[in-house]
Chains A and B, each alone.
Chain A
Amino acid sequence: MIHSLFLINHSGDIFLEKHWKSVVSRSVCDYFFEARENAGSPENVPPVLQTPHHYLISIYRDRLFFLSAVQTEVPPLFVIEFLHRVAEMFQDYFGECSEVVIKDNVVIVYELLEEMLDNGFPLATESNVLKEMIRPPTILRSVVNTLTGGSYIGETLPMGQLSTIPWRRSGVKYTNNEAYFDVIEEIDAILDKSGTTVFAEIQGVIEACIKLSGMPDLTLSFMNPRLLDDVSFHPCVRFKRWESERVLSFIPPDGNFTLMTYHVSTQNLVAIPVYVKQSIGFFESGSCGRLDLTVGPKQTMGKTVEGMMITIHMPTAVLSANLTATQGSHTYNPITKVLVWDVGKLNPQKLPNLRGSLSLQSGAPKPEENPSLNINLKIQQLAISGIKVNRLDMYGEKYKPFKGVKYVTKAGRFQVRT
């Protein structure tokens, strides 16, 4: 299946290569570099490329390209999904996935890759199993290791691979047993010029952080499971229970993981928490334009909107922006042509406003399109769909865990057309 993996940084250097079958010359990457050149932006590089002897399947993540070479038929999503899993594993191990970190931990990275694939076929991709075999570096451990000559390799054999619940490490012990769930909802929306909703939906995800000893068997139930329209689960969730009782029953992995993602049924009208009054215009002559933005809360269920941020990709002709904001800070990057207005907390009494003029390249024609606004926001302690966790029960262990649920609403792909 997966023959080789190349990690390529933003400037096009191959800084790591790993082969699972015989060695594939790194000159195959030349085809990729060519495509990269043609594509313009890195997001536009086709994920699958055909070369005379190999197929190159790549992902772009955290400003790195993960490029794999395959030789035979393989479902492309299989490889793509796996590469993302690798990136997530790096994130999990080192806290971030960047060139520097990978280079610093090249030996661990190599060992991880060795365990994750065997002959190009995924072997162990569960973080719990891998962490038993190869311990993630921590500051304390690295200090100890340098003093004692200890290693990152686990001393015990990874039994997780053998069990029927490969996602959970065996023999977990905590002094404080805790289980936290974050219900995070994102609003995906497209609003048109006049502020009417073209399209809006809510996507939710439940992130769990479980620190429980032994083999707890958890059951999480909702007050209103009917809201959930489409769901996908971590493999630990028992699908049959969900089908029949609409409860999540699972033996959790140890640590952080995504328990489920869901989509709120489209019948429910989506409450749009903010509105934007905007007027962006370019003048026919004089090569300038003006911009006037006002944002205000709309349906926030009495909560405060925080972390409000508006990002605008300006037309290429816009050279600079001379703006004043009544609240927050704003920056315009003349190279990427991105205007960012970081509003911060939204105060209903005093609506934030950003206005001023834009200067265009002289002689350039008036841009045809007004740029659309991308909105970011955050509302604490609110799940905009109204979903509520009812209770969490634990079976199989005797102790009493501490349980916590947190709700957050965010803007996902929230776009206002102008």
Chain B
Amino acid sequence: MTPMQKLLQLPVNAVNMVKTVQSQVQGFQEEAKSPVLTPDGGQQTWYNALQPDELRQLRSAGGGGLGGGGGAGDQEERAPLEEGGGITSGQTQLLRHDDLKEMLDSNKDSLKLEAMKRIVAMIARGKNASDLFPAVVKNVACKNIEVKKLVYVYLVRYAEEQQDLALLSISTFQRGLKDPNQLIRASALRVLSSIRVTIIVPIMMLAIKEAASDMSPYVRKTAAHAIPKLYSLDPEQKDQLIEVIEKLLADKTTLVAGSVVMAFEEVCPERIDLIHKNYRKLCNLLIDVEEWGQVVIINMLTRYARTQFLNPNVNESLLEEGGGGGEKTFYGSEEEDEEDVEDKETKVEAAAMAKRKPYVMDPDHRLLLRNTKPLLQSRNAAVVMAVAQLYFHLAPKAEVGVIAKALVRLLRSHSEVQFVVLQNVATMTIKRRGMFEPYLKSFYIRSTDPTQIKVLKLEVLTNLANETNISTILREFQTYIKSMDKDFVAATIQAIGRCATNIGEVRDTCLNGLVQLLSNRDELVVAESVVVIKKLLQMQPEKHSDIIKHMAKLTDNIQVPMARASILWLIGEYCEHVPKIAPDVLRKMAKSFTNEEDIVKLQIINLAAKLYLTNSKQTKLLTQYVLNLAKYDQNYDIRDRARFIRQLIVPTDKSGALSKYAKKLFLALKPAPILESPFKDRDHFQLGSLSHLLNAKTGGYQELPDWPESAPDPSVRNVEVKESVPEWTKCSSREKRKEKKVEKPFYSDSEGESGPTESADSESDSASGSESGSGSEESGSGSESEESEDGSESEADEEDEEEEKEKKKKKKRASIKPVQQSESEQSSEEEEERNSGKKSKQRKSDSESESESDEEDSESESSQSEAESEDSESEAEVKKKKKVWGKRTDPVTPAKPTCKPAKKEGKKEKKEMSLLDLDDFEPAPSPQVTPVSTFLSNSLVTDLEGLSLTDSVLAPATIAPSSAMKSYELLHRITGEGLSVEYCFSRQPFSPDPHMVAVQVQFTNSAGSEAKNLHMEETKLQSGMRVKEFPEIEVLPAGETATVVMGIDFCDSTQAANFQLCTHTRKFFVSIQPPVGELMTPAFMTENEFKKEQGQLMGMNEITERLKLGDRCQSDHAIVQRVAAAANLSRVPCGSDKECRFAGRTVTSGSLVLVTVATREEGAAQLTVNCEKMVIGTMLVKDVLLALTQ
């Protein structure tokens, strides 16, 4: 017995049951045969009434002796039909079905098969075979697979109508669900869930739940398919079904993914939160999912991305909208003193600030775009379209172009595919014309295209027309006008009209061409031309009175109502251009008035009214005649119009005040119509959807949401290691919480590359918050999430506190109980190792599941990780941005608890080093703070002084006070085994390369022995960054100090430069990260120059912030000092003493940075930064703000 045969074996008693039922039914049928018996529905519940259409079928078939159903229940309905000898036909019908029944009851499989085939053929033709149900259902137990399969077909078709009998088959399927063979389990579930019988809902639910955790992915796939079936049967099960969906969404096989997303879309498309955790997995699996699943997943992910990511084109749209008037709303005018106004204003400012933030794409957003792109090469048009719409809706403008080629390819496909694709292309071309311009010729029309395709291609061509290609397009149109397909010609004429309105240069050419068409022999063509010419003339009527005259003559010939109406309207509207012809036209029209169509009649009345107003002498009688005719017209609109116009234009004593204005009313200047594409604004529907095609919302359509104002927390997509959760909830100390963060595996890293990311991240923050070390930053964000802050001041305070705490902690770590400390560190280290082990295990399992899908996958994996490294950079930027965002705009929202794996790495490194240091019990000295001034050569000071002497008054302020020159630790002496390294930004121009920032590095050898060959190696840099290494220090004797200068080109970013510091024995990984203020050099300019430059850096390039000056920096001098400390700028002379101005240029690109601090009463001030580089600008604002408020 093959496994297939095992499926669906009815238990013996079930067969018996069927038999008894069967005999009963036969009994009924015998009764039904008796014409005397009137059926009274009672016991015949299983015979549902025939559906009306089936009845119709029966009627049509009835004559031929195929009475259809023949069951007892439909006798009543068939009554009218059976009047003429219907009974006999009914009887033959029954007899015929009887032989089928006999065959089904026989022992021979071949007979059964034959019967089933005939029954299925009946079903296929739409004939009713429901009365055979009892006879068929017992064959569920048949051993022959083919019979069984056909029985399934029958069952699924009729079970809904014969619920009670269908129940008899259930137990067979239930047994099938337990079969060891996965295919049998799956097929049992499939049939079971397809039987639409409400009573088995609980059984189905149970079966689905079990199947959802089946070993076999195929069974799980079937379970996913069963979900929407159950949902449509009983929507009340939704909650339970969502649980199953959630579970299946977590499935890692490609087989399940498409089906479960389909179920998700049908049952709970609004539960977008279920996707978070599976987002990355879905993206990665996508390419291996079967085609149909890909379509569903891509469509769903488009919607998801719209809710989770920021608009990649936000800056552009801002530019488009902004233009000139933008600034006035953003920048507060000084008069507004009231607090609430101010509040509002700051909010507006904040929002504006937010908008102006440079956009950095979320790595998950990028992941989606990257992983869908190959699918543009799919053979399946639906997949290509799905990717195309995804790119259209989600990709940055510059990247959308890739879809054009693929869409153009689809134009080679079947005409239905062309139809849909062209509709979508038409919508796209309105928004993004450039994208399809290179493919203009692919939209050229062939005479063999179906009309609907021609019209759509025409639409696309029209949308693509611009000044450069219009001549080619018009030439093309000229061939089209000669086409035999008149609908198409009409559409072409309209298209010409639209080109003419859109492109001024060719308006006259088009008009001339259209006028020529007026002499065309085909009336439709002429009529269409008239309508279009009318619209065009409205734009500049003065120039074209001869055309109007020409058209007036056409009234004799043209019969198409719309065209006649258009001509009459034109003559009426511009009657002063054709004063002699107009009355004559009216005369002719009055003659034929009664024979005209309604729209023409209305225009005749209009023409009469207008002429009466302008030329009453000639047309008074005519007008009255027309109005009289209209008064007795059959159409009430025309009667009404005539009455209305008579009152308005013919002055009587009763006529009201309005008639005075009649002329104004009728001869008002009318705006020229705008000829718009019917595809305009269709893109608010998701492209490729049915709703888009019909331009109407269809049932079950999920709106494509607008981009969010601010990106929701991206960390929701991080996949956590579940087991670790309870452990963490116990943690209370801050340190541990930190570690928890560390714990979370972050999707995109493969260890090595995250290093730079994280340090860049942390340091950028330290730059802004004058915090030191990466840890403090972290705790900073942690505290933000707990305590709601409301104001930048308190924030700053807190950061201060944080810093202090951090320092204390550090000290502790360094000096107090070093042993214990290191022990705890060790334990935490162990823990970490464990967790990372877990993580890697998880990762492994991930890759395992993916490697199922053959080697192709592993290939993609590896290349993906490669690609990811590119992304890490932007990732860091995103985070940075988010942080700024959180602080500025929405202090209430907790700062994003983004997990930073990178951070972890950094820390681990540190810890590892301290582990190595375990036996170093010697109490660490407090961190050495070497005064920078010591290695700031005197000559430099004088140099600087000399430079700034342009304005002697300001001279002292331009020199950065030495105390402000902060030094940062590069290598601690403990980790460096006695070698400690510090660096500071000397603010000297770096002579070998002016585009580099000079970094002064001081080595102090506090170890017992001398250090040799100090040099650097293996610089790991972000793209574009460069480093000029310092000359090797050959020997550094114990206790000695040496200073060298190196140059780094940071590319105007605050990304860290990572490199290895090597001695003759050891290598240390270190990184240098510049505060934003160090990325610039002072620039000297006059007040006028300053104002001029500032004027050019308005709008998006300007950031304004209000602040309250700290107690100790009320004076001018203090302000200058603080600003100069925060950023390497020079002061610009200024006439007013209420303002301090500073100028500088970024080191690499030389973009201007202008800072203005305007003081007000009582310590209030306004800080304005103008900088072309918005990132630099925003960060600088933060830094300066901090410096001034402390």
- A contact residues vs B (CB 8 Å cutoff): 1, 14-19, 21-23, 25-27, 41, 43-44, 46-48, 50, 55, 58-61, 70-78, 80-82, 84, 106-107, 109-111, 114, 118-119, 121-123, 125, 149, 151-153, 155-158, 161-162, 164-166, 188, 190, 192, 198-199, 201, 203, 229-235, 238-241, 243-244, 251, 258, 261, 263, 313, 315-316, 365, 367-372, 374, 413, 415, 417
- B218 contacts A161, CB within 8 Å? yes
Question: B319 an interface residue at 8 Å Cβ cutoff?
Answer: no
Specify which chain B residues have a CB less than 8 angstroms from the CB of A119 in the assembled complex: 193-194, 225-226, 228-229
A74 CB contact (under 8 Å) in B145, B381, B690, B863: B690
Q: Is the CB of A164 within 8 A of B225?
A: no
Q: Are B448 and A122 in contact (CB under 8 A)?
A: no
Q: Chain A residue with minimal CB distance to B216?
A: A162
Contact, CB under 8 Å: B53 / A233: no
The stretch that binds A, out of B241-249, B404-412, B655-663, is B404-412
Distance between Cα atoms of A76 and B685 in the complex (Å): 14
CB-CB under 8 A from A161, the residues of chain B are 183, 218
Report the separation of the CA atoms of residues A19 and B157 in the bound assembly, to the nearest whole angstrom: 8
Docked CA distance A44–B488 (Å): 12
B residues near A (Cβ < 8 Å) are 2-4, 51-54, 56-57, 109-110, 113, 117, 120-121, 123-126, 144-146, 149-150, 152-153, 157, 160, 181-184, 190, 193-194, 196, 216-218, 222, 225-226, 228-229, 232, 254-255, 259, 262, 287-288, 290-292, 295, 299, 374, 377-382, 384-386, 405-406, 408-409, 412, 414-417, 419-421, 441-442, 444, 446-448, 450-452, 476, 479, 482-484, 520-522, 688-691, 693-694, 696, 698-702, 852-854, 856, 859-860, 863
A365 & B521 in contact (Cβ 8 Å cutoff): yes
Contact check: which of A22, A73, A201, A233 meets B379 at CB < 8 Å? Answer: A233
Residues of B within 8 A of A44 (CB): 450-452
Contact indicator A78/B377 (Cβ below 8 Å): no
Asked whether A78 lies within 8 Å of B4 as measured between CB atoms, the reply is no
Question: Taking A76-B690, A80-B416 as contacts, is the C-beta distance between A239 and B854 under 8 angstroms?
Answer: no
- Structural contact, B120 and A151, CB atoms closer than 8 A: no
A6→B693 CA distance, assembly (Å): 22
Interfacial chain A residues near B121, Cβ < 8 Å: 106-107
Chain B facing A: main interface SS: helix
CB <8 Å contact, B378 and A155: no
Q: A75-B688, A166-B290, A369-B482 are in contact. Are A413 and B414 (CB under 8 A)?
A: no
Q: Contact between B53 and A75 (Cβ–Cβ < 8 Å)? A: no
Q: Is the CB of A413 within 8 A of B448?
A: yes
* A80-B381 contact, Cβ under 8 Å, with A19-B157, A110-B124: yes
A46-B452, A73-B691, A75-B299 given as contacts; is B124 within 8 A of A232 (CB)? no
Closest to B483 in A: A369
Given that A155-B2, A263-B409, A368-B522 are known contacts, is A21 also in contact with B701, CB under 8 Å in the complex? no
Decide: B125 and A238 in contact? CB cutoff 8 A: no
Point out the residues of chain B lying under 8 angstroms from A233, CB to CB. 377-379
Contact partner of B125 among A15, A60, A118, CB < 8 A? A15
Contacts A15-B125, A230-B405, A240-B860 given; indicate if A151 touches B414 (C-beta within 8 A).
Answer: no
Q: Given known contacts A73-B701, A234-B379, is B419 in contact with A123 (CB within 8 Å)?
A: no
Question: Of A17, A231, A240, A316, which one neighbours B126 at CB under 8 angstroms?
Answer: A17
Judge whether A122 and B292 touch: CB under 8 Å: yes
Known contacts A75-B295, A153-B145; is-contact A123 B225 (Cβ 8 Å): yes
CA distance in complex: A143, B777 (Å)? 82
Q: Within the assembled complex, what's the spacing in Å between the Cα atoms of A121 and B406?
A: 25
Contacts of A149 in B (CB 8 A): 109-110, 113
Residues of A within 8 A of B421 (CB): 77
| Cβ–Cβ < 8 Å partners of A114 in chain B | 149, 152-153
Best-buried of B382, B444, B521, B700 by chain A (most CB within 10 Å): B382
B700 touches A153 (CB 8 A): no
Q: Residues of B contacting A313 with CB < 8 Å?
A: 447-448, 484
Which residues of B are found within 8 Å of A151, using beta-carbon distances? 113, 144-146
Q: A-B pairs with the 5 shortest C-beta distances? A: A72-B700, A151-B146, A25-B53, A43-B450, A369-B482
Given contacts A23-B51, A41-B450, A164-B853, is CB(A16)–CB(B124) below 8 Å? yes
Question: Is A369 within 8 A of B484, CB to CB?
Answer: yes
Within the complex, the shortest CB–CB distance from A413 to chain B, in Å, comes to 6
CB within 8 Å for A239 and B287 given contacts A81-B380, A368-B521, A368-B522: yes
Contact, CB under 8 Å: B378 / A235: yes
Known A-B contacts A73-B702, A77-B382, A77-B688; A111 and B153 likewise in contact (beta carbons under 8 Å): yes
Residue of A nearest to B406 (CB): A230
CA A61 – CA B452 in complex, angstroms?
Answer: 17
Q: How far is the CB of B896 from chain A (nearest CB, A)?
A: 34
A to B CB contacts below 8 Å, 13 in the list: A22-B196, A60-B415, A76-B689, A76-B690, A84-B417, A110-B123, A119-B226, A151-B144, A155-B2, A199-B444, A234-B379, A240-B859, A367-B484
- Structural contact, A75 and B447, CB atoms closer than 8 A: no
* B125 CB contacts on chain A under 8 angstroms: 15-17
Complex contact B377–A232 (CB within 8 A): yes
Check A121 against B259 for contact (C-beta < 8 Å).
yes
**Known contacts A119-B225, A162-B183; 5 further A-B pairs (Cβ under 8 A):** A44-B451, A60-B415, A198-B476, A238-B856, A368-B482
A249 — nearest CB in chain B belongs to which residue? B856
Instruction: Collect the chain A residues with CB atoms within 8 Å of residue B419's CB.
Output: 46-47
| Given A151-B113, A162-B218, A240-B863: A110 in contact with B120 (beta carbons within 8 A) | yes
When distances are taken between beta carbons in the complex, the residues of chain A under 8 Å from B406 are 230, 232
* Interface pair B420/A47, CB less than 8 Å apart: yes
Asked if residues A81 and B382 are in contact (CB atoms below 8 Å), the reply is yes
Q: How far is the CA of A75 from the CA of B696 in the complex (A)?
A: 14
Contact partners of A201 in chain B: CB under 8 A:
442
Inter-chain contacts of B412 with A (CB < 8 A): 188, 203, 261
Identify the closest chain B residue to A186 (Cβ): B412
Tell me the nearest residue of chain B to A148, going by C-beta. Answer: B110
A287 shortest CB reach to chain B, Å: 15
B1153 CB, nearest partner CB in chain A, Å: 43
For A251, the chain B residues whose CB sits under 8 A away are: 854
CA distance A239 to B859 in the complex (A): 10
Q: Is the pair A82, B157 in contact by a Cβ cutoff of 8 Å? A: no
Separation of A365 and B217 alpha carbons in the complex (Å) = 70
CB distance from A256 to the nearest CB of B (A): 14
Do B113 and A75 have beta carbons less than 8 Å apart? Answer: no
Question: How far, in angstroms, from A16 to B124 measured CA to CA in the complex?
Answer: 5
A residues within 8 A CB of B228?
Answer: 119
Q: Given A80-B381, A162-B218, is A106 in contact with B120 using a C-beta cutoff of 8 Å? A: yes
Pick from B152, B484, B860 the residue with the most CB of A within 10 Å: B484
Residue of A nearest to B702 (CB): A73
* Interfacial chain A residues near B414, Cβ < 8 Å: 59, 61, 80, 84
B848 CB, nearest partner CB in chain A, Å: 13
Contacting pair B698 A55 (CB below 8 A): yes
A77 touches B417 (CB 8 A): yes
Q: Is the CB of B852 within 8 A of A164?
A: yes
Tell me which residues across on chain A come within 8 A of B693, comparing CB atoms.
48, 76
Residues of A near B476 (CB, < 8 A) are 198
User: In the complex, what distance in Å separates the CA atom of A314 from the CA atom of B521?
Assistant: 18
With A73-B699, A149-B113, A230-B409 as contacts: A81 and B183 at CB distance below 8 Å: no
- Whole-angstrom distance between the alpha carbons of A313 and B4 in the complex? 56
Instruction: Across the interface, name the chain B residue whose C-beta is closest to A61.
Output: B414
A194 to chain B, nearest CB (A): 13
Give CA–CA (A14, B452) in the complex, Å. Answer: 25
Min distance, Cβ B698 to any Cβ of chain A, angstroms:
5
A190 and B698 contact, Cβ closer than 8 Å, known pairs A44-B451, A106-B121, A232-B377 = no
B297 to chain A, nearest CB (A): 12
**Best-surrounded residue of B53, B229, B520, B853 (most CB of chain A within 10 A):** B53
| Cα-based distance from A221 to B184 in the complex (angstroms) | 42
How long is the Cα–Cα vector from A369 to B863 in the complex, in angstroms? Answer: 57
A164 CB → nearest B CB, Å: 5
Query: Within the complex, which residue of A59, A316, A372 is in contact with B416, where a contact is CB–CB below 8 Å?
Result: A59
